[in-house]
Structure 1
């Protein structure tokens, strides 16, 4: 009997010990698993932060000295249209962006696209293309009081009647300069401004041809109210026979580039003017490295696509040749994080975007001579303009050449597939 009780005691003790041990082992396993989960979560969050930060980034007084162009377009006296509805803006990595008013909108991004669609937070809020391209724009009907070129901008009816605007059988939009052989005053030209305004978003221009030739000064740009208070972003700009696009910011005092070094700025372009973006100094310009991003070289290469992102983290500009347009752009699901290094990038640490840039109107114009193309008429050295226009034409000044050589402006026209504006909905 004693032996049985002893054996029972030993068995019970072993059972209790084994249960406690198993419990301890299980507890340790749970603790280890929990720590591993926490470490994995921390590592994942760090990695995600790096990815999002990377995506977030991707996310004209005029003179030319030693081939350094300084472009400036004051909007004093010009007509602007549109009204705003919100002021929220953050970056392309997925934060909120709010739309201003739009008169030509699309509800389904990429519905007519043929590229490879990707997941994107951007939604198409405005599109100008095909037979409806000119819907939603206001035509300026006045002399060029912005850059003092020798053009008279005309209203939509006059532009159409004089064959200065057209929609081709392929659905592309045309905007021309008058080519009458000689004029005694100004040549007719086109300047259009969107009726909608946005304080953040993604702009995509698909162009086949842009104005080129001595005396021309075309631009595709955005502008805030009460220039320069609301800021100016020149996306496509150049003069004469330039071959490289120049993007420039013009602001009130206090906005600048952190450096003049392309590697430091992490851009593919080159800083060619001041690092100070103040408009009274001519702004801060960055020239694209591509020699087919502007003018006749751009036209003969089939054109291409320019994109610009505007958000609280900064402003970035890319250019893509026709043969190298990202498939997500073609599909209507743009994702700037896939586009690589922009040729121009102004980061918010040295330029408070929300402070210096208000709601932006979008503008096309082509002027002749004026503050820039006229002032650099005898200058040489810029890419494509290694020989001055004075030497090329044999005419000593821009105004005289423009008024007496209408046939020279046969190439002074825009041909556009589309302008699209995207935003990240709030």
Structure 2
């Protein structure tokens, strides 16, 4: 069955079709989500001249890492609720791969504020944290849903989609060959499309980089998208091990930018090297607003399609629903011009030409326009890949690229020369004639592609970095370079003049993402935002043993300690503020292990006790024969379920009435006793007598 467009979110219709969540983040992020009014007042939300919606964060102000809610950001949830459909989202830009960030495009059952989460499920289409270079596609469901089957290109990380102590669900990492699936590389390519097809069998997710978006998506105004022609998806949820309609329903779309929290904060310095820029995620996010200039979504559109039946042309004159189609160029303007048709000269049949036509040819000088650093869609004109390195874009660093080392200079420098010079490093960055290499990106973060506008000395059709305009006048010796052609004395040997680049320099950066490790699995993001924690209860049965004092049934002149055993049922309340004790480092990318923090210890119910008066044979101080004992109620009432064990027979020495009292294991006073009758002792007599007799037989043997 073909798909028919039902909803087209773009520009104002996108903002009007989504609600702004401004409650407390359910994932414990260092974030202050804004209402629509506040977000617009702070410049976090806007619509540009191409009708693209920009969703960003505060990249101006500093905040305290302790106290307060965190850095202002946005989280949008669709008002519409969906069950099945084809969802196509075109992003021109996503938040950059920057330490502290946790952006996501996802969907979950937000009914009743998400109170029933994970009922209805959660599907994470785009998600990552900190300096990630690969996308994470996940699902979180109720117990019973697992990954199964084949036919996908992603890398499976976890197969159980249900709740667990890790709360990581089931997930796929983007395939290793898809080096533009997330973050900086995604943006350098001019963005791309993510698509989700959801039917009664499964949910499938695709990613298409900008240059290879299928025609039936590019020209969706005249073609109907057909996922069957798109090739295998990167992720599949459903199938025989997870009924799609049972575990996924009533989903709302969500777009947000989070900071730190249960993902970016927990993997800080463990799944990445962000701990090199600050000890904690919160400290970095609070104090470095410049690092989040590129932390924004630029959304071309989000289209939602419904499947419609194919009508039999022989039955009536039925037509397909006449839904409003998206424009052929969704975020541009299309214009057509018409002119009268050209009139060609005609001649009467049989007549020869009566004149002579003279044609003069002239050569018109042509001036080719200078190359530009970006295409009209914002993508860089530099090569997308060079010898396994992927273009990450134009980067700046307020700290002066402390992790980068100058590797070579050359009057013939271009991106290919620099990538070759940085063989063995993860990153290659070039400014004019100078090539820098790095193992980690450090505090460098991506800026707009068109800011790297210096033509490469060795290839004028490529661009090798740029200069920041707001560093003031350039003077000799101040560590800031001028916009000159640089030295022309040939290639400088490697490791000569090792130093970082000046802070007013912008680098065109390539990264070796073929060795990018698998992203750490992420916890679910759904649930309510108005509660700090989620209380989980469980019922446990535990054994209790009470030691108390009784008159010895075989020797009434003594008091003995006796044990009483029973069981009780407790309801345990666990306050799950999750911490992680990750067993992995940079080269051991296994999932983090979450442990319960602030677990509420259950109050152990005391065994019911009562007070009885007994007599003994002058066992108390001064020959007293009446004693008051505290014993379990069950011992007094009796019954087949009462278990009394005499394994701890111990003589209790009577004390004077004025002596200090001690406590037994149940907290009762051990009182001084004299003598007594056989009330409770008679109840215990036969069992203890049998035990003593048996013990004596063993001694004789």
TM-score bracket for this pair, using the shorter chain length: 0.5 to 0.7
1:217 to 2:102 alignment: yes
Cα-to-partner distance string for 1:107-154 (whole Å, 9 max, x where unaligned) = xxxxxxxxxxxxxx111111111343311111112231x211011111
1:357 to 231, 248, 252: 248
Q: C-alpha displacement at 1:227, in angstroms?
A: 1.1
1:137 to 2:27 alignment: no
Match of residue 162 from structure 1: 42
Matched-pair contact (CA < 8 Å) for 2:237–2:244: no
Runs of 4+ residues deviating >2 angstroms: 130-133
Matched-pair contact (CA < 8 Å) for 2:30–2:261: yes
Match of residue 151 from structure 1: 31
SS in 2 for 1:135: helix
Q: C-alpha displacement at 1:415, in angstroms?
A: 0.5
1:236-315 to structure 2, matched below 5 A, reads 236-258=126-148, 265-272=150-157, 274-280=158-164, 281-289=167-175, 290-315=178-203
Within 1, Cα distance between the matches of 2:93 and 2:252?
22
Which has more radius of gyration? Answer: 2
Higher helix share: 1
Higher relative contact order at CA 8 Å, sep ≥6: structure 1 or structure 2? 1
Match of residue 374 from structure 1: 265
Q: C-alpha displacement at 1:367, in angstroms?
A: 0.6
SS in 1 for 2:120: coil
- TM-score with structure 1 setting the length: 0.67
Match of residue 124 from structure 2: 234
Structure 2 unaligned regions, length at least 5: 310-701
Cα-to-partner distance string for 1:313-341 (whole Å, 9 max, x where unaligned) = 11100000000000001122211001001
Matched-pair contact (CA < 8 Å) for 1:312–1:348: no
Match of residue 412 from structure 1: 295
Within 1, Cα distance between the matches of 2:237 and 2:105?
18
Within 2, Cα distance between the matches of 1:234 and 1:276?
15
Q: C-alpha displacement at 1:239, in angstroms?
A: 0.7
1:345 to 2:228 alignment: no
SS in 2 for 1:133: helix
1:171 to 42, 51, 55: 51
Match of residue 319 from structure 1: 207
Match of residue 398 from structure 1: 281
- Cα gap change, 1:356/1:347 in structure 2, threshold over 3 Å: closer, same or farther? closer
Higher strand share: 2
Match of residue 84 from structure 2: 200
> How many aligned positions are there?
292
Q: C-alpha displacement at 1:347, in angstroms?
A: 3.3
Q: C-alpha displacement at 1:348, in angstroms?
A: 1.9
Within 2, Cα distance between the matches of 1:347 and 1:160?
39
Match of residue 122 from structure 1: 3
Structure 1 unaligned regions, length at least 5: 1-93, 95-120, 259-263, 381-386
* Alpha-carbon RMSD: 1.2
Within 2, Cα distance between the matches of 1:356 and 1:125?
24
SS in 2 for 1:345: strand
Cα-to-partner distance string for 1:373-420 (whole Å, 9 max, x where unaligned) = 00001113xxxxxx51112x1x11101111111111111100110011
- TM-score with structure 2 setting the length: 0.41
Q: C-alpha displacement at 1:181, in angstroms?
A: 3.5
Within 2, Cα distance between the matches of 1:301 and 1:329?
17
Matched-pair contact (CA < 8 Å) for 2:3–2:226: yes
Matched-pair contact (CA < 8 Å) for 1:243–1:298: no
